[in-house]
Structure 1
Amino acid sequence: MRLSRPLLAASLYAAFCLAPAQAARPSDAQIDQLMESMNYERMRREIVQQMRGSAEMMAQAAAGDQLTPEQRASLAKAMEKQMASVEKLLEWKQVAPIYRKVYGDVFEAAEVQAMIDFYRTPAGKSILEKMPLAMGRTMQEMQPLMKRLFEDMQRDLQRDMQALMLESGDHAGHDHGHEPVPAPYAPPAPPAPPAPPKPSKGD
């Protein structure tokens, strides 16, 4: 059975009207506004501070008590130079294209606007204030867990290396000088914004 032209046109029009509209992509200005409401500059300073603390712990664990005061001063100077480079790398003008692309690909314009509105509320501002503390304490609480994990990995690796040496005919049992490796302290990733509660359909 063939549909008449008027009926076919009406069907196509109805299908077009009932089809879900494509979600609007957020503009660069919206994303810039979101990061401004999240106080990106403060986040950048806190990220650098956390990375500095992690780098200092790594350097102390690697060097131990073997460095002279002059060597420690040189190491501190080199670390400050590296942190300055990191801080410059994380400036908004450097990372803005990345945030605009990622947030533009992931979020809809309405979602970005909802986050902007949320972070401007007292509750949103309070969450932004507390988020670095929550992340820092989480990293601190996880350090013993990560330390045990890396100790287990190191023990298993040494056991596997010994088994490989035995299989290859190295039966002399020489000490190959494998020193314990301190558990690394990886620098934290940039903090992701907490997802605001989605408004209900009745709002």
Structure 2
Amino acid sequence: MGKVILLSLFIFSTNLYAAQTAKQQKIDELVEVMNMDAMVDSMYGQVESMMKNMSAQMGVKPDEKAIFDKYYADMTEVLKTKMSWQKMQPMMINLYDKQFTSQEISDMLAFYKTESGQAILKKMPQVMQASMQMSQALVQDAMPEIQAIAGELGEALKRSRSEAN
């Protein structure tokens, strides 16, 4: 009886391992088809664009440009080191493994291999960059109100604390 249970567990775990390995292979292929490494590289271009906007927003003067450029280069180096594709890849694979079934991965693979799927992948970095810029503009527009509310909160907390004492 014990041998039957042990054999059943072995067969089950072997089948589970094979299914997991097949799913991992599909995820690896999906990562390749989606050119995720290139997407990470395009992220650096988006950061560069944001940094140029930051320079203008901070009012960096021409004689201060060298100072700004040095800090910009340092920040870029940190991002490229801490957010490299080499570091992100295992996390992305794990994320896809946890979030999507094997069938969903297969369906994504089939779609992204199509002409439309490839067009979406090529255009997505520009869509993401434009959406980030729109979000930044909306946040900037809301910032005075947010700061006013934060100030009111600070005052309300001061009053509450002074009444408690």
Query: What is the TM-score normalised by the length of structure 2?
Result: 0.70
1:121-145 residue CA offsets vs partner (Å, 9 max, x unmatched): 1010111122122222222333332
Map of 2:70 onto structure 1: 77
Does residue 135 (structure 1) correspond to residue 128 (structure 2)? The answer is yes
RMSD over aligned CA atoms reads 2.9
Which amino acid is 2:40 matched to? R
Go from structure 1 to structure 2 and tell me whether the alpha carbon gap of 1:59 and 1:166 turns closer, same or farther (over 3 Å shift).
Answer: farther
Residues 38, 128 of structure 1: 8 Å contact kept: yes
Residues 37, 116 of structure 1: 8 Å contact kept: yes
Map of 1:58 onto structure 2: 54
Map of 1:37 onto structure 2: 33
Map of 2:45 onto structure 1: 49
Q: Where does 1:100-115 land on structure 2 (aligned, <5 Å)?
A: 100-115=93-108
Which amino acid is 1:114 matched to? D
Among the aligned pairs, what percent are the same residue? 25
Q: 1:125 pairs with 118, 137, 142, which one?
A: 118
Question: Within 2, Cα distance between the matches of 1:108 and 1:147?
Answer: 39
Map of 2:138 onto structure 1: 145
Q: 1:87 pairs with 76, 80, 93, which one?
A: 80
SS in 2 for 1:27: helix
Residues 31, 99 of structure 1: 8 Å contact kept: no
Q: Which stretch has the larger CA shift, 154-163 or 120-129?
A: 154-163
Structure 1 segments unaligned to the other structure (5+ residues): 1-21, 170-203
Larger radius of gyration: 1
Residues 119, 125 of structure 1: 8 Å contact kept: yes
Instruction: State how many pairs are aligned.
Output: 144
User: Deviation of residue 167 (structure 1)?
Assistant: 8.6
The runs of 4+ residues in structure 1 deviating greater than 6 Å are: 163-169
Question: Within 2, Cα distance between the matches of 1:83 and 1:28?
Answer: 32
Residues 44, 87 of structure 1: 8 Å contact kept: no
Query: What is the TM-score normalised by the length of structure 1?
Result: 0.59
Go from structure 1 to structure 2 and tell me whether the alpha carbon gap of 1:168 and 1:101 turns closer, same or farther (over 3 Å shift).
Answer: closer
Go from structure 1 to structure 2 and tell me whether the alpha carbon gap of 1:162 and 1:106 turns closer, same or farther (over 3 Å shift).
Answer: closer
Go from structure 1 to structure 2 and tell me whether the alpha carbon gap of 1:113 and 1:160 turns closer, same or farther (over 3 Å shift).
Answer: closer
Map of 1:174 onto structure 2: none
| Greater fraction of residues in helix | 2
Q: 2:90 pairs with 82, 85, 97, which one?
A: 97
